[in-house]
Amino acid sequence: MSKDKSPRRPRAETPKGFRDYFGAEVTERKAMLDRIAAVYHRYGFDPLETSAVETVEALGKFLPDVDRPNEGVFGWQDEDGDWLALRYDLTAPLARVAAQFRNDLPAPYRRYAMGPVWRNEKPGPGRFRQFYQCDADTVGTGSVAADAEICAMLADALEEVGIPRGDYVVKVNNRKVLNGVMEVAGLSGEDKEAERGIVLRAIDKIDRLGPDGVRALLGGGRKDESGDFTKGAGLSAEQAEVVMGFTTARRDSGAATVARLRELVGTSVLGAEGVDELETIADLLAAQGYGPDRILIDPGVVRGLGYYTGPVFEAELTFEILDEKGRKRQFGSVAGGGRYDDLVKRFTGQTVPATGVSIGVDRLLAALRAKGRTGGEGAGPVVVTVMDRDRMADYQAMAADLRRAGIRAETYLGNPKNFGNQLKYADKRGSPVAVIQGSDEAARGVVVLKDLILGAQVAAGATLEEWKNRPAQVEVPRADLVAAVRRMIG
């Protein structure tokens, strides 16, 4: 008789499309988000934390891929038969909150939110099913002054986290202008909704595909390098040229760009309204000192989401990096947003104007690493080594003294039998100093401090003079432990 098989052990692996974040990565992200939050706070925005789970009904059809409503989310049915899902962004939950608590919230309501979101989509290189977003929104005002304020706040936030002026630009456009251009091109009306969606997504890819690639998507379609074919909008050559004229309408000044857009929208009332709003936004920003070196009018920005109804904006980093093949390219977009006046209406039946922006947290962190503004290993704790098992209270008292002085410290809690393993542990932790006290040192009332930073520098090629001027190991009175450690790590 064969023996019963033992249960199969679970595989220790992260689910596909997800990742784990360790020490320095978590610390870097928190530090960056804290700096962004400080900017938002100065602008008068309040923090909001919503549930990670929403009803599928509340999330609605406003997913990034408008052809797949109610798909792309992680959803399940609870015991009451209700369909729930993990939030796919931070905007849909805000719309629900604004409707649910409309009698309690101030109007306008200004909030920022930071946290993970989930997309049930095919993962790929740099594309995960869970990622962080950082949003700021104003709900309850139709004034384009709110849009201008969001753009100014975004520019300030980028500079606050370490992106210098000249390495970024916030581009502003208006979907009403594009809709006016579509009217001129004969693409208005409900029967043209599918074509308009393809046009939007095509224009949104102009930085990646170039004019020829976008023109192909406006027409019959485009085949990429892999041979995959993407169906186009089916526009005639004349219609495509009207749309392409919109994408190339940017001029050397905001005033010249606005003038060109007025020509393109022709007699469209909606288009003219959008041009007026862009002109107002430019004037408001100029009055606050935000020139085209920081924020500019750019008709090439359309944003792919279908719920935008007015001004749209995108933050692009302009410095160059090397791609995986060693080629130079601009870093690209790290944030985007716009006005979405119909999203809260789904709950209330009444139009509630709103505008906001979302920062791609992982992309912005990657940009800061590329600029050398973050990414260094964070300093580890001072490690108090254990020489005598029965003196653990003494060692923990040393760690406690260091912590009370604001110095990060821990006592080694592994097997103390092999002292070399304790120092290897300290190295792996990135510890700057190891504290050592055996029975002999305890009898004399002293401790030995081993400078692990200097040890690493010597291993990396520090000079003999540096070694002489800063000994790698010193003996100090136990009473001077805190002061001596502070000097060593300082």
Q: Which of 342, 370, 398 is the last residue of a domain?
A: 370
Residues 366 and 404 placed together within one structural domain of the fold: no
When pLDDT is cut at 50, 70 and 90, the band that residue 54 belongs to is very high
Q: Which residue has the tokens 């109007």?
A: 107
Q: At what angle do helices 144-161 and 269-287 cross, to 10 degrees?
A: 50
Residues 6+ apart with CB under 8 A from 485: 382, 402, 407, 433, 435, 449
Residues 29 and 174 placed together within one structural domain of the fold: yes
**Number of structural domains in the chain:** 2
Classify strands 354-360 and 130-139 as parallel, antiparallel or unpaired: antiparallel
Structural domain including 466 reads 382-489
Residues 154 and 293 placed together within one structural domain of the fold: yes
Least confidently predicted of 61-70, 329-338, 437-446, 471-480: 61-70
Residues 353 and 391 placed together within one structural domain of the fold: no
Q: Which residue has the tokens 């309850």?
A: 140
Least confidently predicted of 167-181, 325-339, 389-403, 437-451: 325-339
Domain-embedded: residue 481: yes
CATH code, 130: 3.30.930.10
Residues 157 and 240 placed together within one structural domain of the fold: yes
pLDDT at 69 over 60: no
User: Using an 8 Å Cβ cutoff, are 151 and 118 in contact?
Assistant: no
pLDDT digits (tens, 9 = 90+) for 204-263: 777 777 788 888 888 888 887 777 888 888 888 888 887 788 778 888 777 888 888 888
Domain-embedded: residue 14: no
- 371/377: higher pLDDT: 371
Domain-embedded: residue 65: yes
Q: Which of 312, 344, 370 is the last residue of a domain?
A: 370
CA dihedral 60, 63, 69, 74 (to 10 degrees): -80
User: Using an 8 Å Cβ cutoff, are 180 and 278 in contact?
Assistant: no
Predicted local distance difference test score (pLDDT) of residue 464: 46
Q: Which amino acid is at 139?
A: V
Predicted TM-score (pTM) of the model is 0.80
Residues 6+ apart with CB under 8 A from 60: 69, 92, 346
User: Using an 8 Å Cβ cutoff, are 123 and 113 in contact?
Assistant: no
- Residue 321 tokens read as 């990096």
Residues 327 and 396 placed together within one structural domain of the fold: no
Q: Which of 370, 393, 412 is the last residue of a domain?
A: 370
User: Using an 8 Å Cβ cutoff, are 44 and 110 in contact?
Assistant: yes
Predicted local distance difference test score (pLDDT) of residue 65: 46
Domain-embedded: residue 186: yes
User: Using an 8 Å Cβ cutoff, are 85 and 53 in contact?
Assistant: yes
Residues 326 and 470 placed together within one structural domain of the fold: no
Predicted local distance difference test score (pLDDT) of residue 106: 94
Domain-embedded: residue 180: yes
- Residue 317 tokens read as 């980093």
CATH code, 457: 3.40.50.800
Cβ atoms < 10 Å from Cβ of 91: 23
- Residue 440 tokens read as 């002999």
Predicted local distance difference test score (pLDDT) of residue 465: 54
Residues 214 and 177 placed together within one structural domain of the fold: yes
Predicted local distance difference test score (pLDDT) of residue 159: 95
Alpha-carbon span 15 to 30, nearest angstrom: 24
Helices (H), 111-192: 144-161, 175-184
Assess whether the previous peptide bond of 164 is cis (omega < 30° from 0): no
Q: Which amino acid is at 333?
A: S
Q: What would the mean pLDDT of 471-477 be, rounded to a whole number?
A: 87
Predicted local distance difference test score (pLDDT) of residue 203: 76
Residues 34 and 150 placed together within one structural domain of the fold: yes
User: Using an 8 Å Cβ cutoff, are 383 and 451 in contact?
Assistant: no
